[in-house]
């Protein structure tokens, strides 16, 4: 197997998505058709989240990784990309219920519109529909992968619920990112490998590549929660701390913070709002102790590993696109 030169030109986000543009349209249509339920609320909730958009990073990973292989099955890769989008949508619904979120991608959250009970049940239905699609492919390896993924993500939600409202250790934070984000990214690449009839070694390498992408992706998300604008985020800035979540930028700052600074952070954690201690004060504390730069450098460590792994695949348009995604992740501002 030839090794790709690391001097290859980095593709733009548009060039990356142009490679899968037509397939993504098929994924969107598959998602729409597969989320039609006998209960209208499920169909409407799925449609509400679908029209609100999103980066479509996860289905794109499935489609691009499948394109690495000559034996790929385009129809299967589209089906599996729809499966991960259904699973991801279900997790968003459940996340918003647990977090008592009011907005999602700049629009009202499903729980704010339909209520917690209906939202949770709709999320459950979408999970089951994802497995229904996978079951049609009659592949035990595929089902085992999806079941393990779902269990890991649920364990992540339980871990997050246990950590809400208190200072966490770095190990706990990284485990949470692994279970809630990186594991899904890894599964996406493995699904693409399955659709491409990859070897076990190739599937494992792609899974590790995407796991590193997922870790970096979440770290940058956590940075943007403090540094982006509400218009860009689609939700209020500082939402993580308001919801009782301690992420890496703040965690690093708290390891060096003064008693007064700690007291300010604890006040926001207790109040779950910025009324007594403004968000600007929290951002000043984080920046004073290098929390933002540390989190970005940590994300770059993960993307560096991802680049090394994807660089071991032969040169192709899909390979160059996948090798460009790590840079896209750490440089993004949304």
Say if residue 12's pLDDT is above 90: no
**Does the pLDDT value for residue 196 go beyond 80?**
yes
Cα 299-160-86 angle, rounded to 5 deg: 80
- Predicted pLDDT of residue 4: 42
Rounded distance between C-alpha atoms, residue 67 and residue 80, angstroms: 13
In sequence order, what DSSP letters do the residues of 218-242 get, joined into one string? HHHHHHHHHHS-HHHHTS-TTHHHH
Residue 4 lies in a domain: no
DSSP 8-state class, residue 275: S
* 224 φ, ψ (degrees, to nearest 5): -65, -30
Q: Helices in the chain by DSSP H: which ranges?
A: 13-18, 21-34, 40-51, 57-66, 74-99, 110-114, 116-136, 140-163, 170-177, 183-195, 200-227, 230-233, 239-242, 248-254, 259-271, 279-288, 291-310, 317-331
Q: Characterize the bridge pairing of strands 107-108 and 103-104.
A: antiparallel
Please write the tens of the pLDDT for every residue from 180-191: 999 999 999 999
Is the pLDDT at 1 greater than 60, yes or no? no
- Looking at the predicted structure, is the pLDDT value of residue 225 above 50? yes
Residue 1 counted as domain residue? no
Range of the domain at 320: 13-331
Supply the pLDDT for residue 107: 82
Q: pLDDT-based confidence at 53, cuts 50/70/90? A: low
| pLDDT tens digit sequence for 65-89 | 999 999 888 999 999 999 999 999 9
Q: Is 33 contained in some domain?
A: yes
Specify if 236 maps to a domain.
yes
Residue 179 has a CB neighbour count (10 Å cut-off) of 21
Helix, strand, coil share (%) of the chain residues, nearest 5: 75, 0, 25
Q: Quick one: CA dihedral 8, 12, 16, 18, positive or negative?
A: negative
Number of structural domains in the chain: 1
Residue 290 in any domain: the answer is yes
Q: Tell me whether residue 2 is in a domain.
A: no
C-alpha distance from residue 82 to each of 13, 88, 133, 139, 252 (Å): 21, 10, 9, 16, 37
Q: Is residue 158 part of a domain?
A: yes
pLDDT one-digit tens code per residue, 302-318: 999 999 999 999 999 99
Q: Inform me whether the pLDDT recorded for 3 exceeds 60.
A: no
For residue 291, what is the domain's CATH number? 1.10.600.10
Whether 285 is in a domain gets the answer: yes
DSSP 5: P
Is residue 104 within 8 Å of 235, Cβ to Cβ? yes
């Amino acid at each position: 197997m030839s090794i790709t030169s690391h001097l290859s030109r980095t593709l733009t986000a548009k060039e990356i998505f142009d490679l899968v543009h037509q397939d993504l349209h098929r994924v969107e249509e598959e998602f729409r058709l597969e989320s039609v339920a006998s209960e209208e609320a499920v169909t409407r909730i799925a449609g509400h989240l679908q029209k609100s958009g999103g980066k479509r990073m996860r289905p794109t990973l499935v489609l691009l990784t499948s394109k690495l292989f000559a034996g790929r099955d385009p129809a299967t890769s589209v089906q599996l990309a729809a499966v991960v989008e259904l699973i991801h949508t279900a997790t968003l619904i459940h996340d918003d219920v647990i977090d008592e979120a009011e907005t999602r991608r700049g629009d009202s959250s499903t729980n704010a519109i339909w209520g917690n009970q209906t939202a949770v049940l709709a999320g459950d239905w979408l999970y089951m529909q994802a497995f229904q699609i996978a079951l049609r492919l009659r592949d035990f390896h595929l089902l085992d992968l999806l079941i393990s993924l779902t269990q890991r993500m649920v364990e992540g939600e339980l871990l997050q619920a246990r950590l809400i409202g208190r200072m966490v250790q770095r190990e706990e934070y990284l485990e949470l990112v692994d279970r809630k984000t990186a594991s899904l990214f890894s599964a996406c690449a493995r699904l693409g490998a399955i659709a491409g009839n990859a070897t076990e070694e190739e599937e494992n390498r792609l899974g590790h590549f995407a796991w590193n992408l997922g870790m970096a992706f979440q770290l940058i998300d956590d940075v943007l929660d403090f540094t982006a604008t509400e218009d860009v985020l689609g939700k209020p800035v500082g939402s993580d701390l308001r919801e009782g979540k301690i992420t890496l930028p703040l965690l690093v700052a708290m390891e060096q913070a003064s008693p007064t600074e700690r007291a300010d952070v604890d006040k926001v954690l207790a109040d779950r709002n910025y009324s007594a201690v403004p968000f600007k004060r929290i951002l000043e504390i984080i920046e004073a102790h290098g929390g933002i730069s540390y989190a970005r450098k940590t994300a770059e460590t993960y993307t560096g590993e991802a680049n090394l792994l994807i660089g071991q695949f032969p040169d192709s348009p899909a390979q160059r696109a996948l090798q460009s995604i790590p840079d896209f992740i750490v440089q993004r501002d949304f």
